[in-house]
């Protein structure tokens, strides 16, 4: 199915087409090309996408968006990123879809994926969502540009680590529904305090369309602040959470052999489903998802069926049973990123995980915490003890205060942690692996699953 014609692309970007061509996808990564794509060549600080045009064409790209003439079919523009952004803006203009924007310090990718599954149960062929964590100034325009014109639902994740970034992104997405999942001290190095993070996240409401709905976590200590910002831009406000005063909340839940049975209320409707993921943070994510589905006018029973399909995402809660010795070990993969809130949530899951052996925590340093880094790291001691984690392996110099608090090993890198596990792991053990992405603990998961690191 044609996504864009060369004439469409030229009109949207103000560029000049070298030939007639059609594309059915858009990418700026030549490794993603499988045939039929528009390859967007952007000049960055590290490399120039024009270097990979040959590779993209050889792999089957139908055309390119370029800022310098090339031999391949192309649309010539002044700047690649500006061209991609213009294409994303045009995609949003031509869409009649209900658009949902998602942000938050934690949980935004999980909610985006849950919404993709939930709304795909309602419109299986007409639900579009951003992929991976494409949530910044390049990823959001790309995700918009990939949205088919006949989409009924569009779901877009938006991230930030400085004030003002979400303000720009939300004006591109122009959501009909805007969600804040939670506020936590992620990237607090760049903010005065957590309240300032809440203000920056609340920028998502600035792009709401007329009649738009803001969806807020009632459980958040910053709820009043978020609501005040939301009411400036939203015509409707819905709340979600574990607090039973929320518009969408958990009535009760119970961990069973194959997941978590959840009973929830969505407005005036009660719904029950069995989730494949565990932890209070997943319950909260599910309530945010149900609230958005409700605001979008989707069938709630169908949406719940979609949420029930959600499994832990790679680096964000996936669980793996690995043959080991005369049995198996379980890996809890939370290796994608970390802040104090997500660390505590992951440790709570470890505490609730049934295991025949030890509960082992391999924890990497949390980055961008500023002057309070030592405090945030040291305060993990209590949830670690509550989880019954023993032994605890810490990686990265920022973990020094926690290592002193616990009297446990501090290792220099992920390789050392992997070597320790290989020598000490026993059948029946359960291992939580979590840390900031730059620490590289994902290599442990990959290595134990037999994947390339």
What pLDDT shows up at residue 112? 95
Do 20 and 7 meet the contact criterion of CB atoms below 8 Å apart? Answer: yes
Tell me what pLDDT residue 453 has.
42
What gap in Å lies between CA 145 and CA 202, rounded to an integer? 24
Spatial separation of the C-alpha atoms in residues 131 and 142, rounded to whole Å = 10
| Region of residue 407 (left: phi > 0; alpha: psi -120 to 50; beta: else) | left
Residue position matching structure tokens 């959001």: 140
Report the Cα 155 to chain-centroid distance in Å: 12
Kindly report the three-state secondary structure assignment for every residue of the chain.
CCCEEHHHHHHHHCCEECCCCEECEEECCHHHCCCCEEEECCECCCCEHHHHHHHHHHCCCCEEEECCCCCCCEEECCCHHHHHHHHHHHHHHHCCCEEEEEECCCCHHHHHHHHHHHHHCCCCCCEEECCCCCCCCCHHHHHHHCCCCCCCEEEEECCCCCCCHHHHHHHHHCCCEEEECCCCCCCHHHCCCHHHHHHHHHHHHHHCCCCCEEEEECCCCCHHHHHHHHHHHCCEEEEEECCCCCCEEEEEEEEECCEEEEEEEECCEEEEEEECCCCHHHHHHHHHHHHHHHHCCCCHHHHHHHHHCCCCECCEEEEEEEEECCEEEEEEEECCCCCHHHHHHHHHHHHHCCCCCCEEEEEECCCCCHHHHHHHHHCCHHHHHHHCEEEEEEECHHHHHHHHHHCCEEECCHHHHHHHHHHHCCCCCEEEEECCHHHCCHHHHHHHCCCCC
Which residues fall within 8 angstroms of residue 47, CB to CB, at 6 or more apart? none
Q: What is residue 451's predicted lDDT score, i.e. its pLDDT?
A: 65
- Residues making up the annotated binding site for ATP are 104-110
Within 10 A of 224 (CB to CB), how many other CB atoms are there?
10
Q: Which residues pair with 153 in a beta bridge?
A: 98, 127
pTM for the structure as a whole:
0.85
Q: Are the C-beta atoms of residues 103 and 201 closer than 8 Å to each other?
A: yes
Per domain, the residue ranges of the chain are: 4-87, 95-308, 318-448
Instruction: Residue count of the chain, please give it.
Output: 453
**Sheet with 98-103, side-by-side order of all strands:** 127-129, 153-157, 98-103, 177-180, 213-217, 236-241, 248-256, 259-266, 269-275
Compute the half-sphere exposure of residue 410: CA atoms within 13 Å on the CB side of its CA.
Answer: 14
User: What residues contact 87, with CB distance under 8 A and at least 6 apart?
Assistant: 4, 9, 12, 13, 26, 65, 141, 144, 145
- In 3D space, the residue among 201, 202, 300 whose CA is nearest the CA of residue 248 turns out to be 300
Enter the tokens of residue 208. Answer: 């709401």
Residues comprising the binding site?
104-110
- For residue 281, give the nearest of 437, 157, 108 by alpha carbon: 108
Asked if omega into 391 is within 30° of 0 (cis), the reply is yes
Enter the CATH code of domain 95-308.
3.40.1190.10
The structure tokens listed for 117 are: 């599954």
CATH number for region 318-448 = 3.90.190.20
Fold category of 4-87 in CATH: 3.40.1390
CA end-to-end distance (rounded Å), the chain: 36
| Phi, psi of 419, rounded to the nearest 5 degrees | -65, -40
pLDDT along the chain (453 residues), means of 10: 96 97 96 96 89 96 96 96 97 97 92 96 95 89 97 96 94 98 83 91 98 97 97 98 96 82 93 86 93 97 93 80 92 88 90 91 91 92 95 95 92 94 94 93 92 50
Task: Return d(Cα 65, Cα 84) in angstroms, integer.
Answer: 8
Separation CA 374–CA 64 (nearest Å): 48
Angstrom distance (rounded) from CA 24 to CA 5: 9
């Amino acid at each position: 199915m044609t996504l864009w014609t060369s004439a469409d692309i030229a009109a949207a970007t103000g560029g000049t087409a070298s030939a007639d061509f059609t594309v059915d996808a858009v990418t700026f990564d030549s490794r993603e090309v499988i045939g039929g794509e528009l390859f967007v060549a952007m000049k960055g600080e590290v490399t120039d996408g024009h270097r990979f045009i040959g590779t993209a064409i050889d792999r089957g790209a139908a055309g390119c968006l370029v800022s310098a003439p090339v031999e391949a079919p192309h649309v010539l523009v002044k700047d690649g990123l500006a061209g991609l952004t213009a294409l994303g803006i045009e995609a949003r203009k031509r869409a009649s879809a209900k658009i949902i924007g998602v942000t938050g310090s934690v949980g935004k990718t999980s909610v985006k994926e849950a919404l993709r599954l939930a709304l795909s149960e309602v419109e299986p062929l007409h639900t579009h969502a951003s992929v991976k964590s494409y949530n910044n100034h390049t990823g959001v325009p790309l995700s918009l540009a990939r949205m088919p014109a006949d989409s009924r639902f569009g779901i877009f994740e938006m991230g930030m680590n400085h004030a003002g970034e979400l303000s720009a992104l939300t004006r591109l997405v122009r959501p009909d529904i805007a969600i804040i999942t939670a506020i936590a001290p992620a990237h607090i190095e760049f903010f005065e305090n957590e309240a300032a993070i809440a203000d920056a996240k609340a920028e998502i409401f600035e792009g709401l369309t007329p009649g738009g709905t803001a969806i807020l976590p009632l459980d958040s200590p910053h709820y009043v602040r978020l609501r005040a910002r939301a009411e400036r831009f939203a015509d409707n406000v819905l709340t979600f959470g574990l607090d039973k005063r929320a518009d969408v909340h958990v009535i009760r839940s119970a961990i069973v052999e194959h997941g978590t049975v959840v009973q929830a209320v969505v407005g005036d409707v009660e719904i029950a489903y069995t989730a494949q993921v565990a932890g209070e943070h997943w319950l909260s994510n599910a309530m945010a998802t149900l609230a958005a589905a409700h605001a979008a006018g989707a069938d709630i029973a169908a949406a719940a069926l979609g949420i029930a399909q959600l499994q832990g995402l790679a680096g964000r809660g996936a669980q793996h049973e690995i043959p080991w010795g005369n049995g198996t070990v379980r890996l809890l993969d939370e290796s994608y990123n970390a802040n104090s809130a997500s660390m505590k949530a992951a440790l709570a899951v470890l505490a609730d995980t049934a295991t025949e052996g030890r509960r082992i925590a391999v924890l990497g340093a949390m980055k961008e915490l500023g002057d309070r880094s030592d405090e945030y790291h040291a305060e993990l001691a209590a949830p670690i003890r509550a989880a019954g984690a023993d032994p605890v392996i810490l990686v990265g110099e920022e973990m020094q205060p926690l290592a002193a608090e616990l009297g446990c090993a501090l290792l220099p890198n992920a390789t050392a942690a992997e070597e320790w596990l290989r020598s000490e792991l026993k059948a029946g053990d359960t291992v939580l692996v979590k840390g900031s992405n730059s620490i590289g603990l994902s290599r442990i998961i990959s290595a134990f699953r037999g994947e390339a690191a």
